Amino acid sequence: MAAVAGPEEPGLEPGGSFRRYLARLGALRPQPGAERPDGGRRRTELHLLFDQLISESCGPAPAAGPSPQDVCALLVQACQLVHLDQEHLVSKVCQLIHHVLNRFQVMVDEQNLNFLLSYCISALKQCSSWTHVEILQALAALVYNNGPKCQKYLPDLLGKTGLLVQFSDSAQPDMELRRAAVRSMANLCLGVPGQPYLDESYRIVCFQTFLSVLQSSKTSDVDDIAFCMLLQNALKGIQSLLNGGKMKLMQTDQIGSLLAVLKKCMFHGLPGLSIEMPAALYPAPLPQYDKRSPVKQEQSEPATFKQTGNRRKKSKGKQRRGELGEEGREDLGDSGNESVLGADMLKLRLGDVQNSPCSDPRTRASDVAYVPAGKDHSSSHYTSWKRISSSESEYSDAEGGIQSKTRSYQANVRQGALACFLSAIKSIEKRVLYGYWSAFVPDAPGIGSPQSVSLMTIALKDPSPKTRACALQVLSAILEGSKQFLSVAEDANDHKRAFTPFSVTIASSIRELHRCLLLALVAESSSQTLTQIVKCLANLVSNAPYSRLKPGLLTRVWNQIKPYICHKDVNVRVSSLTLLGAIVSVQAPLPEVQLLLQQPSSSGLNNSGSATPHRFNSSEQWRKAFPSEGEPPDNPAGCTSSEPCWLLRLCVSIIVLPREGSCSDSDANFPSFSSVYEPCPLRLESLQVLALLVKGYFSVAQSYFLELGEVACRCMEEMDPSIQLHGAKLLEELGTGVLQQYKPDSAVAPDQRVPISVVVTFWTMMLNGPLPGTLQNSPHATLQTSACDALSSILPEAFSSLQNDQQILCVTLLLGLNHSENPLVKAAAARALGVYILFSCLRQDVMFVADTANAILNSLHDKSPNVRAKAAWSLGNLTDTLIINMETMGQSFQEEFSDLLLLKMLQSATEASKDRDKVKSNAVRALGNVLHFLQPYHIANPRFREAIEESLQALISTVQSEATMKVRWNACYALGNVFKNPALPLGEAPWTTQAYSALSSVVKSCKNFKVRIKSAMALSIPSKRECYGSTEQFCQIWSALVVALQKSEDTEDFLEFKYSASLRTQICQALLHLLSLAKSTDLPVIWETITENGDAIKSYVLQYLKSGVEENEAGVHTDLCERERVLKGAIEHLGGIEKELEGKAGVRVSVYLEDVLTNHANATELTEA
């Protein structure tokens, strides 16, 4: 035959040999009308052809393989030539499908898939059992990533009597067959993005099958490797269900069963450890029963001691341990035998850690492990955490090879279980997951009992670096978002009770996590795993409630991470900085961290000898470039004012000093700025740490305020936009730190603040530096946005001291950016203008106020919701300014301000009050201010009349709406502002009735007490009786407030209860205000209310008066008798009216109030006595 040329000829184009095989298969197909070939010869040729194809598909994959069309055509032709009764050929053609699809990674198209799947399913039904494994392997290759195309075959495969369900059953004696079926099922479960997933019924069948596989135990007749592969396939199947099917685990028994098998598989084949797990785990605060095999542990211990000695001889003097993959690792430290290590750990003290940050981490194991006094488990506990090396085995090379392969497969099972656990964490609600915390997170061992096995057991003991890294990834995922759960932890006070509170249990777990992770840090040799340990520590630090725990934990982490800043691998260095950033940002400021930052730089740095990089020895290099103002010379060593803290100095040196040669092979992955500086990720992380340090511990950073400003300037002058961006963020934090110091309620003493002159120097440097250029010319919107935010963090007192041209520059830049096409930049500019409008030196400038108003109104009509929200906030601030100017500058400002602009503000704010809630909340605030600002001539102007009416209706409808509470709160406040304007026809206009009705309804029934408080406050603002309108309206308001007072403790939401006292105070003030204005026609209704509810009202008013005395004693009020004075004023006013009414009505409101006052006076005398 012409097509019999060998496939191995050189010079063939990709897929050429495949086409020849295709031609040979075509030649074997019977032609219509041709003589039928001899069956035996045809079978022989097919066997030969399939053998050649299988042989070729088993080699290494070529750079360019055959086309998918050729592969599919070949496989279909092969199947068409093989009848199902030719079982040997069926077996071979299935092997061919398996090998070819796997080698060339071909996805079979739908038409050919239908044919090939039908062929395999028919073969499974008709052929003998000895062929089933090969057929299932072919099936697995066909359905891989093709699940959505297999829908019509699912009943045959996954139905109640489906083939895969039968073959994967636990009763199946053939392990290879069971494994092949489970693998096919797992491949069917793979999700394809954008394609429909398996139906719920099939998902449940697959999940239960995988679960039963994982729950099964290995029998003695089953090969270890085959069992490992079976478990791996089941784990991949569950992971696919969780990932591709977005399966949400809700039922407790389902979660418990899955977590139990995952925990079992996490430890599968781990040397020196054998555990038996219950069928299901249950949410519990304490570790659950996991039975260990004592025999295996005892056997492992002698090997451990032997290994310790031998390993040390082999690796003495080596800094780097080989990446041995599945081989064992060195022990936890190179510091002698177990008893010495245990003794060192028991000696640990807080101040015991002043070693060099660049010394060998493994020589400092004693700095890590914290063992409570009296719990000596240095020999019993730590020996069981040793690793077994293959070098200690007592079997032959062949046996050793098998043993090594088995260990490799067992490690793959552990990795698969951990990867599956990672997917499960995303599928389980966090609050449900934390019920199983004790099953996976270590707790300090009890006296006389071993420590429960946990993820840290793997991180410390597993011989495979990849598995250790997987365990740490899982632990990180558990810790992520655990702040609320861990917030209950507390061990600051020594508890002496008969039981251990849950808070102490969690605190103990947090401490143990710190101890174990720091042990792992010292013991680890793999850079990739080391990175995971540090990331895990950073996650723990970010979520632990250190303010509720005994101090010392962060000190140990701080001192232990220092050496890794100089690690050879840049990823380890970056993650170490991330950890330091977590320390300075968690619950800042913490006294413990404050002390660490105040330690002089020399501690742990100057004694490090030749191991210390030059950048640490030349500590003053970066500071000499930027002389500090007012720094006293020759400060004594150790004074924090004489040199920066270690962390600040470290970060600045990484950012600004040139690099000193390659630190790591992995640097090549990070192209740095002209290779002059450290790798970019390292510099970025340093900038982030600096920003966090400034934010959380400004008092530490403020001594180097100008130097840090210079660092920010340098960064913003660079070419790399990410460095520029983080430079701008550092600048913003520096500005914000000063703003916080100068707040009216700041606890920082005036002489401890950054002097105004220094702040002026700082901002002069910024405005003469790269900041204006960045704002004007940067093509990067995010950078412009950050620069804009930085410019808005300027201290108002410093701004007024800047040169005039610099003030104009700032204002011009912001007004210009307000017209940016980018919504991020435009939003930041609108917000910055809202900050500047409150500056005292700018708000009195009518031209600036007008320019700002026009810019803000422009942004208020932007299509971006974020821009509109920022513009509405700024409009609220601008209208606040109008009120301040009206009160301080009087009529001159009001007359100068444009009427047309005022009208535009009123109309725009009315329109914005119908926008989404984030815009609406500030729009109604602005409406209240503008309506308060209007003068009689505005109100009389016909152009204003309609706008005023619309704006008032907008406010009233917002109060009554179902908007968020903040919006309604602001709307009530705005109506209160409206009532302050004497020029408005309050009490006469029709909208008055609607406004009072809306406020009266809200004060009685709103779920949110803060909204009720603001509505009561608004109702107490009108200063004249005429403003309340008719007697009927006045009495409705009175009655509503009485009802509100009685309902002031009724709430469905417990969180609202804390505001009930404030609500009663506000309602009592409003009631007394109404009484002091009441007319004679109002008294009958008031008296009727008092007659019905007198006792209740009396008790609340007495409580109101009493709380006034208490607040006065606490220094809250200056006028000690303010509340009594208002009550006496109401009594006097009502007494006069009642005298005029004498004989006409039996109204005695004043007598009732005098009785209340007398009771209060008596109670006060008794208290004082």
Query: Which residue did the predictor score with more confidence, 539 or 447?
Result: 539
For 951-995, write each residue's pLDDT tens digit.
999 999 999 888 788 899 899 999 999 999 999 988 888 899 999
Q: How far apart are CA 533 and CA 455, in angstroms?
A: 12
Q: What is the mean pLDDT of residues 1121-1145?
A: 76
Which of 36-50, 264-278, 785-799 comes out lowest in average pLDDT? Answer: 36-50
Among the residue ranges 832-841, 929-938, 1095-1104, the one predicted with the least confidence is 1095-1104
Report pLDDT for 64: 67
> What is the per-residue pLDDT across 82-127, written as a single tens digit (0 to 9) for each?
888 888 989 999 998 998 888 888 888 889 899 999 999 999 999 9
pLDDT tens, 161-174? 889 988 988 888 88
pTM for the complete prediction? Answer: 0.80
Residues 648/693, Cβ–Cβ less than 8 Å: yes
The yes-or-no verdict on residue 597 having pLDDT over 80 is: yes
Q: What is the mean pLDDT of residues 271-291?
A: 74
The residue ranking higher by pLDDT, 607 or 39, is 39
Determine the pLDDT at residue 17: 67
Mean pLDDT in residue range 577-602:
88
Is residue 459 scored above 50 in pLDDT?
Answer: yes
pLDDT for res 368: 43
Q: Look at 325-329, 370-374, 458-462 and tell me which has the smallest mean pLDDT.
A: 325-329
Please report the pLDDT score of residue 957 as a whole number: 93
Banded pLDDT at 535 (limits 50, 70, 90) = very high
Q: How far apart are the first and last CA of the chain?
A: 124
**Is a pLDDT exceeding 60 seen at residue 306?**
no
Q: Taking 60 as the threshold, does the pLDDT of residue 625 lie above it?
A: no
Task: Return the pLDDT at 449.
Answer: 62
State residue 393's pLDDT score. 41
Burial of 1060 (0-12, 13-18, 19+ CB in 10 A): middle
According to the model, what pLDDT value does residue 309 have? 37
Q: Would you say residue 604 has pLDDT above 60?
A: no
pLDDT for residue 335 is more than 60: no
- 338-396 pLDDT, tens digit each: 333 333 333 333 333 333 444 444 444 434 444 443 333 433 333 334 333 333 344 45
pLDDT of residue 1137: 79
DSSP 1077-1126: H--GGGHHHHHHHHHHHHHHHHHHHHHHHHHHHHHHHTTS-S-TTHHHHH
Alpha-helix runs per DSSP H in 244-293 = 252-266
Report cis status (omega within 30 of 0) of the bond before 744: no
| Residue 650 clears pLDDT 50, i.e. is over it | yes
Helices (H), 105-199: 110-126, 132-143, 154-158, 163-167, 175-188
What is the signed CA dihedral for 1076, 1081, 1087, 1092, rounded to 10 degrees?
Answer: -120
Q: State the number of CA atoms in the 13 A half-sphere of 966 facing the CB.
A: 8
Surface-to-core class of residue 7, CB atoms within 10 Å of its CB (0-12 exposed, 13-18 middle, 19+ buried): middle
Task: Quickly state the pLDDT bin for 331 (edges 50, 70, 90).
Answer: very low
| pLDDT given for residue 607 in this prediction | 35
Q: pLDDT above 70 covers what percent of the chain?
A: 78
Inter-residue contact 972 to 1009 (CB < 8 Å): no
- Return the pLDDT at 826: 95
Single out the residue of 74, 100, 64, 59 nearest to residue 18, CA to CA.
74
Q: Residue 1004 in contact with residue 1043, Cβ under 8 Å? A: yes
pLDDT of residue 612: 35
Per the prediction, the chain carries an average pLDDT of 80
Mean pLDDT score, 1069-1097: 85
pLDDT in the model for residue 901:
93
Max mean pLDDT among 48-57, 259-268, 1122-1131 falls in 259-268
- How far, CA to CA in Å, does 1089 sit from each of 88, 717, 1001? 101, 73, 18
620 pLDDT band (50/70/90 cuts)? very low
Summarize pLDDT for 1148-1159 with one digit per residue, the tens: 777 888 888 888
Rounded CA separation 500/18 (Å): 72
What was the pLDDT predicted at 717? 92
Query: Can you tell me the mean pLDDT for 274-292?
Result: 72
Confidence of residue 781 (pLDDT cuts 50, 70, 90): very high
Least confidently predicted of 16-20, 228-232, 416-420: 16-20
Query: Residue 135, class by beta-carbon neighbours within 10 Å (0-12 exposed, 13-18 middle, 19+ buried)?
Result: buried
Q: What one-character-per-residue DSSP string does 794-818 give? A: --HHHHTTS-HHHHHHHHHHHHHHT
Axis-axis angle for helices 646-656, 680-696 (nearest 10): 140
Beta strands in 456-604 (DSSP E): none
Q: Which residue has the tokens 């010079």?
A: 11
Give the pLDDT of residue 506.
Answer: 92
For residue 299, is pLDDT > 70?
no
Is 16 exposed, middle or buried (CB count within 10 Å of its CB: 0-12, 13-18, 19+)?
A: middle
Longest dimension (CA), the chain: 135
Give the type of residue at 1144.
K
- What pLDDT sits at residue 338? 34
Q: Which residues pair with 276 in a beta bridge?
A: 291
**What is the mean predicted confidence (pLDDT) over 602-621?**
40
Selected residue with higher pLDDT from 518 and 364:
518
Q: Which segment of 292-306, 565-579, 884-898, 923-937 scores lowest on mean pLDDT?
A: 292-306
1013: tokens are: 């408080």
Residues 682-687, mean pLDDT to the nearest whole number: 95
Beta bridge partners of 292: 275
